Amino acid sequence: MKTQVCIIGGGPSGLLISQLLHLQGIDSVVLERHSREYVLARIRAGVLEHGFADLMREAKCGERMEREGEIHEGFFISDAGVTKRRVDLKKYSGGNSVIVYGQTELTRDLYDARANMGGKVIHNVEDVKLHDLKSGAPYVTYRDGDEIKRIDCDYVVGADGFHGVSRKSIPKDVLKEYEKIYPFGWLGVLSRTKPVSPELIYARHERGFALCSLRSQVLSRYYIQVPLTDKEEDWSDEAFWEELKKRLPAEDAAKMQTGPSIEKSIAPLRSFVAEPMRYGNLFLAGDSAHIVPPTGARGLNSAASDIYYLYHAMVAHYKKGDDRGLDGYSAKALARVWKAQRFSWWMTTLLHTFPDTIPYDRRLQDIDLDYLFSSDAAMASLAENYVGLPF
Ligand code: APR
Ligand code: PHB
């Protein structure tokens, strides 16, 4: 088989770039290790910045997001179960907001759009291997049952997430990896209950951080910070609700609707960046090149800017023979990626309880939070990062 762009990974990054390229008449094939059902059963984050939403519209996949997504113009930060203050995103970001719309739904919309346009997405591929990336004729092989299949292409996009094969195809002496592992994880619960608050609550508490989020007015998503040693099985639904309530302001705890968990999982918190994001004719995008802790809701949104830069660079190459975008891709993408890293690290540090914390650190957190709510400049910094820095 032959295509212009071979895309490894059928998550949001891979599907979105495939869809955008298609609309510009550029052919691609997406290779996905799992089935569509498996990919769509994964519960992931749910806050989209406006730049991502714009890309979804440009990809002609924005209709359901527009209809079912909720526009959020602010969120709350509570402290010690006592104070609860609102961050006015719209006011402090110059009129911007975010859209609450599950990544699972967004991925479904992208799959539907690809299917409607006859997009080539091949599922259940095994042993994907990238070849001759430094040459002008790279190719990708994969196993389909007993058969090894080959796809010749101009470019390979590595959109296969943190555990994918693409980043690992870059020689060790070329790739520099930066990593920070946090000494805790988030235990997340999805429940068919009315969300406790119409806007998200980020809760700082000595017992550990908590987050009240939602997918719709009948579907809630809650998280609590837990030690890395905890397992999902350690937490009954009852224990989860009890602990969540202890970390929230009394008025919210009192009106919390509880119910059976539909999904319950622990995600460790990690920051990671791989540099460069290009090797020969391979371009990394999304989680394959960088990971953030979820506190600033930047994960999916950092993938969006990669896709934006790469898509425009490929269009310039194919339509005008202009390779400046491709040549500058890695540096441009990384500049924004690192800003999202800084912001995610800052919000994580501000709101979590660190096991090795000393009283001095705790006071600094207090002051950081006080400063935030006493300074328009600090608030503007939070707001512009949360709604997404410009591409
Ligand atoms: N071959 C083919 N596909 C693979 C391989 C492989 N060797 N390895 C992984 N994949 C697939 C995974 O099954 C997955 O569906 O690549 C896809 C990668 O998708 P994501 O992990 O969702 O990554 P990405 O598309 O970059 O999405 C951005 O930002 O923080 C987040 O949660 C957010 O997942 C979201 C991400
Ligand atoms: C979520 O709804 O899953 C969510 C929202 C905001 C975050 C992280 C996760 O910062």
Q: Whose CA is closest to 159, among 335, 29, 340, 339?
A: 29
Q: Residue 100: what pLDDT?
A: 96
Residue 10 CB-density burial (10 A; 0-12 exposed, 13-18 middle, 19+ buried): buried
Work out which ligand 2 atom sits closest to the CA atom of 347: 10
Sign of torsion, CA 341 204 45 164? Answer: positive
Determine contact, residues 14/32, Cβ cutoff 8 Å.
Answer: yes
Taken as a whole, the chain contains a residue count of: 391
Tell me the pLDDT tens digit for each residue of 28-84: 999 999 999 999 998 888 999 989 999 999 999 999 999 999 999 999 999 999 999
Ligand number with the minimum distance to the CA of 98: 2
Phi, psi of 236, rounded to the nearest 5 degrees? -75, 160
Ligand nearest to the CA of 99: 2
Cα 295 to ligand 1 centre (Å): 20
CA distance linking residue 348 with residue 26, whole number of Å: 40
* Ligand 2 pocket list (CB less than 6 A): 45-47, 200, 213, 221, 294-295, 297
pLDDT for the residue numbered 327: 98
Backbone torsion region of residue 334, taken as left when φ is above 0, otherwise alpha when ψ lies between -120 and 50, otherwise beta: alpha
CA 46–ligand 2 middle distance (angstroms): 6
Domain with CATH 3.30.9.10 in the chain: 186-269+355-387
Residue 72, pLDDT score: 97
* pTM strictly above 0.95: yes
What is the rounded CA–CA span in Å between residue 109 and residue 331?
30
pLDDT of residue 39: 95
Residue 233's pLDDT is what? Answer: 96
For 194-213, letters b (16+ CB in 10 Å) and e give: bbbbebbbbbbbeebbbbbb
Q: If you measure from the C-alpha of residue 103 to the centroid of ligand 1, how many angstroms do you get, rounded to a whole number?
A: 12
pLDDT tens-digit readout, 104-129:
999 999 999 999 999 999 999 999 99
Residue with CA at minimum distance from ligand 2 atom 6: 297
Instruction: Look up residue 204 and give its amino acid.
Output: R
Q: Identify each DSSP E strand in 55-162 by its residue range.
A: 70-72, 74-79, 83-88, 98-100, 120-122, 126-131, 139-144, 147-152, 155-158
Phi first, then psi, for residue 229 (nearest 5°) are -80, -15
- The per-residue pLDDT for range 297-338, each reduced to its tens digit, is 999 989 999 999 999 999 999 999 999 999 999 999 999 999
In the reported structure, the alpha carbon of residue 194 is separated from the centroid of ligand 1 by a whole-number distance in angstroms of 30
Pocket lining for ligand 1, CB < 6 angstroms: 8-14, 31-34, 39, 44-45, 103, 125, 128, 159-161, 163-165, 286-287, 299-300, 303
Ligand 2 center–CA 216 separation, angstroms: 13
Burial 156-177 (b: 16+ CB within 10 A, else e): bbbbbbeebbbbebbeeeebee
Per-residue pLDDT reduced to its tens digit, 144-154: 989 999 999 99
Q: What percent of the chain has pLDDT over 90?
A: 97
What is the distance between the alpha carbons of residues 296 and 79, in angstroms, rounded to a whole number? 17
Residues of the chain with CATH 3.50.50.60: 5-72+100-179+270-351
* C-alpha dist (Å) from residue 382 to 22, 96, 198, 369: 36, 12, 20, 11
- CB-CB contact of 12 with 352 (8 Å): no
User: What beta strand segments (E) does 192-341 contain?
Assistant: 201-204, 210-216, 219-227, 261-275, 278-279, 282-284, 290-291
Mutate to test the pocket of ligand 2, among 223, 225, 301 (most ligand atoms within 8 A of CB): 223
In degrees and rounded to multiples of 5, residue 14 shows phi and psi of -65, -45
Q: Count helices and strands (H / E) in the chain.
A: 12, 20
C-alpha–C-alpha distance, residues 270 and 368, integer Å: 22
The Cα 266–Cα 374 span in angstroms is 34
Kindly report the CATH number that applies to the domain delimited by 186-269+355-387: 3.30.9.10
User: Probe ligand 2: pick from 42, 44, 47, max atoms within 8 Å of CB?
Assistant: 47
Whether 182 and 57 have beta carbons less than 8 Å apart is answered as no
Q: Can you read off the two tokens belonging to residue 357?
A: 């914390």
Alpha-carbon gap, residue 13 to 156, rounded angstroms: 13
Q: What is the CATH number of domain 5-72+100-179+270-351?
A: 3.50.50.60
Ligand 1 center to 159 CA (angstroms):
6
